[in-house]
Amino acid sequence: MSQMALPLAWPAPEDDRDFIVGPATADAVRHLAAWPNWPVAATLLTGPRKSGRSLLARIFAAKHDAMLIDDAEQAPEETIFHAWNRAQAEHRPLLIVADAAPPLWRIELPDLASRLAATPRIAIGDPDEALAAALIEKLLGARGLAAGREVTAYVLPRIERSHVALHRLVDALDEVALARRQRITVPLARRALMSLGVIDDSSNGG
């Protein structure tokens, strides 16, 4: 499988953003695209916060007229139970989005627990280098900012490889660029990393 991150050709109706496909997300995208072949008309989608899981879920729901329960841990268990049953009766897909699957997500209602046990599970993982670079570009572009490849090459080895860390980095780059009224360069990126506590003055950018 190619390591290049590619845009998924499913427009999100609410704002026309693209969901970026890479190794961390490709399995989830393939599974959702093949929903008529699911063993039951429901799937549990998990992944870290800021991973794009809710965006992917909204795109899927809009494309396939699916039922969607986001942040499922906060939803009443009986609501999820009845939605699961309705999905089977109507053969209409139900996508349940949560931080984690059972048993980490503790289900008290036995009937719901048994149904989730029979439900396919897909997960979005942490980004690899290609996906991380594409996400930085996308997040900066959404703010009207841009960074050259040298900036991405500088920051990627120095930050935690997680979706939350990428969002924090872009926030810091935005703040430093605005405060100094400069385009994003490697020296500016270094200041952003210092503001996050990732490097300090003694590191000399290393």
Least confident among 1-15, 95-109, 190-204: 1-15
d(CA 82, CA 178): 49
Q: What is the pLDDT of residues 149-192, one digit of tens each?
A: 999 999 999 999 888 999 999 999 999 998 888 899 999 999 99
pLDDT of residue 203: 53
Domain 6-123 and domain 129-203, same fold? Reply is no
Q: What is the pLDDT of residues 84-133, one digit of tens each?
A: 999 999 999 999 999 999 999 999 999 999 999 999 999 998 888 988 99
Q: Which residues pair with 96 in a beta bridge?
A: 44, 69
pLDDT of residue 192: 95
- Residue of 148, 171, 145 lying closest to 159 (CA atoms): 171
- Residue of 9, 5, 13, 60 lying closest to 38 (CA atoms): 60
Q: Which residues pair with 127 in a beta bridge?
A: none
6-123 CATH: 3.40.50.300
pLDDT of residue 204: 52
CATH of 129-203, one of 2.60.120, 1.20.1070, 1.10.10, 1.10.8: 1.10.8
pLDDT of residue 48: 87
pLDDT of residue 82: 98
pLDDT of residue 14: 46
pLDDT of residue 24: 81
d(CA 146, CA 148): 7
d(CA 105, CA 60): 23
Q: Tell me the domain boundaries of the chain.
A: 6-123, 129-203
User: What is the SS3 string spanning 6-44?
Assistant: EECCCCCCCCCCCCEECCCCHHHHHHHHCHHHCCCCEEE
Share of the chain above pLDDT 70, in %: 88
pLDDT-based confidence at residue 79 (cuts at 50, 70, 90): very high
Q: What is the pLDDT of residues 17-42, one digit of tens each?
A: 567 777 788 899 999 999 999 999 99
